[in-house]
A and B are shown apart, each in its own frame.
Chain A
Amino acid sequence: MTTFNVHKHRSDFPLLNETAYGKPLVYFDNAATSQKPAVVIQSLVDYYTHYNANIHRGVHFLSQKASAAFDDVRVKVRDFIHAATEQEIIFVRGTTEAINLVASTYGRQHVNKGDEVLISAMEHHSNIVPWQMLCEEKGATLKVIPMNDKGELLLDQLDALLTDKVKIVSLVHISNSLGTINPVKEVIRKAHAKGIPVLVDGAQSTAHMSIDVQELDADFFAFSGHKILGPTGVGCLYGKLALLEQMPPYQGGGEMIHSVSFEKTSYNEVPYKFEAGTPNIADVIALGAAIDYWNTIDRTAAAKWEEDLLHYATEKLKSIQGVRLIGTAKEKASVVSFIIEGVNALDAGMYLDTKGVAVRTGHHCTEPVMTRLGIPGTLRASFMFYNTKEEIDVFAEQLAKAVSFLQPAIAG
C-alpha cells in the first residue's frame, strides 16, 4: 500500500502557513487556483535576478540562457501530458485563451453557416462563450449534451447529437462546479467515428490525474498553469501536429513570422506560428518548475489521498442539518458543491471566511449548470493533495455553526 505523506508536501507550500484574521488558514478554493510550492516562487525570483532577457533573438549570454530555460519547458509539458512532440505545445495565457485560440483559428476555418458546435451542459463559461461568438459570426448553432440531476452527461443522446453538421466537440474533462469526471475518452471515440475532432478542457483535470493526450486521442487539450501549482498568466494548448499545421495563425506580430515585407508575410512553423510577441518567459519557466515538482509526487497516491478527502468531506457534510450536495456523479473529483436549506450561500461563505476558511460561493462561472438544477448557486470546497482531514474538521465544524447562526434569520 502506498502512503501519502501530506505533511511533508504541505511544508513545501509557504502560503499554507498563513493566517486569515488571525486564524490558521484553511484553503479550500483550489479549483479556482492552487497554491504554489517554494520552488515555483523561487524560480521566478531566480529568473528575474540572474537571467532575465528576451529570448530567441539575442546572441548574448543571458538571452541564450533564458531561451534554453524557456525551450526546456516545452519538452517538460510534452512529457507531462504525454504529447508526441513538443511542437504540439503552444504557450498561452491559460485555458480560456487556449479555447479562444482554437475557436478563432480551427473554428473559423471549419465552422460555416448551418454547422454545429457541440459542448456539454456543464461547461465553464470559458468553454461556452468563445463557441457562441463563433456561431454568431458564422450563422452556426451551439448544441449541448444534456446531463441528469446528479450531474452526469446523458451519453445515450450523444450518437443523435453527433450529426454531420457538427464540426467540433468541446468538452470539459472535470466539471469545476460539480466535480463530475466526464468519460472524455468515450466521447472522443464516438466523435472520431464520425470524423469530428474534440477539444478537452483540462483546466480542472490536470491537477487531479495524470494526463495522456495520446491515450485519450484528444485533438486539442487546454489547461492553465495556475491551477497546477504554477504561476498565473500562463497555460498550454496541446493540438495534434497535423491539425496545428493546417490552422491559420491566431494573432499577428513578432515571433510568429518567417519573413515580413509590405506585400506578403510568411508564417513561422508550429508552434511559433501561434505565439505572437514576446512570450511570458518568466511564468513559462516557473510552470516548468511546477512540472518538476509534480514529477516528485506519486500521482497515484496523491489521487487516492484526494479521494479520501472527498469521501471524508462528503460524509461530514451529510451529517449537517439542511445540507444538500450538488453534483453526486459516480465518477467525481475532490470537489464538494452544496446548498443549505434556508441559508444563503454567500452569507455562509462569508461566515466561513471570518473563521479563516476559504471556500467559493456563487455559480462558479457555470450559470447554465445552476439554471439546469434550479438553484442560484452553491458553496464549493475544492481540495488539493496538500489538504488534510483536520482542515475538513474545521470546515465542517464552522459550517455547522454558520447554519445555526444564520438559520433563525430566515425563520424570523
Chain B
Amino acid sequence: MNSIAEIEQEIIADFELFEGWEEKYQYIIEIGQKLPPLDDKYKTEDYKIKGCQSSVWLHGEEREGRLFFSADSDSTFVKGEIALLMNVLSGQKAEDILNAPLSFIDAIGLRQHVAVTRANGLAAMIKQMKTYALAVSTVQR
C-alpha cells in the first residue's frame, strides 16, 4: 500500500489535468456515483455527521493495526469527497491517519468550494476519521 503522501501526490497530479472547476466538479460527482454503498446498519443516527446542507454516515473499523472506512451521503458531491478521503486514508495505520496533513484538499482547489459555504461536512468528516484513528492508536498504546 502506498503512503498517504504518495496517494495525495497522485490525486494532485490527476487534478492538474482538469481545465477548471467545472471539470473538477464533474469528476468528483463521477467518483461519488461509484462509491460502494454503506451497509444499511450503519445508516443510523449513531454514525451520522450532520453538515449544514448534507448528511454523512461514516463507519470505521480496525483490522491488524490499520483503519478501514466506509461511508455514504445524501449528496453525490459529498460522496465524491468521501471517495477522495477514503482513497487517501482508508487502510492506513492509525498513527499515519492522525498525522496526515491532507494538503491535497487545498492543492486541488477543493477547500475554497466547500469550507467557506459551511455547505457540507468535509471538515467534520475528516475530524471524525481522525477521531477513529485516535481511538485506535490510544488502544494500541
Query: Which A residues contact B (CB, under 8 angstroms)?
Result: 21-22, 344-347, 350-351, 354-355, 361-363, 376-377, 405-406, 408-410, 412
Contacts and interface: CB of A to CB of B under 8 A. Distances in A.
The 3 closest A-B pairs by CB, nearest first: A354-B22, A409-B33, A362-B53
Contact of B75 (A346, A354, A355): A346
A22 B22 CA distance: 11
A149 to B, nearest CB: 23
B53 A347 contact: no
A408 B74 CA distance: 14
Contact of B22 (A21, A344, A347, A410): A21
Contacts of A355: 22
A412 B119 contact: no
15 contacts: A21-B21, A344-B74, A344-B75, A345-B53, A346-B54, A346-B77, A346-B120, A347-B76, A350-B113, A355-B22, A361-B119, A362-B119, A363-B53, A377-B53, A405-B26
A412 B77 CA distance: 15
A186 to B, nearest CB: 35
Contacts of A409: 29, 32-33, 76
A294 B65 CA distance: 67
Interface in B72-96: 74-78
B13 to A, nearest CB: 22
Contact of A408 (B20, B33, B75, B78): B33
A368 B51 CA distance: 17
B57 to A, nearest CB: 15
**Which of B26, B52, B76 has its CB near the most chain A CB atoms (within 10 A)?**
B76
Contacts of B54: 344, 346
A378 to B, nearest CB: 11
Residue among B32, B52, B77, B78 having the largest count of chain A Cβ atoms under 10 Å = B77
Interface residues of B, number: 19
A355 B54 CA distance: 22
A183 B54 CA distance: 34
Nearest to A411: B33
Interface in B34-81: 52-54, 74-78
Contacts of B74: 344, 376
Contacts of A412: 33
B119 A346 contact: yes
Contacts of B113: 350
A162 to B, nearest CB: 35
Most-contacted residue by chain B among A22, A347, A363, A376 (CB, 10 A): A347
Nearest to A406: B76
Contacts of B53: 345-346, 361-363, 377
A355 B25 CA distance: 11
Contacts of A351: 25
Contacts of B33: 408-409, 412
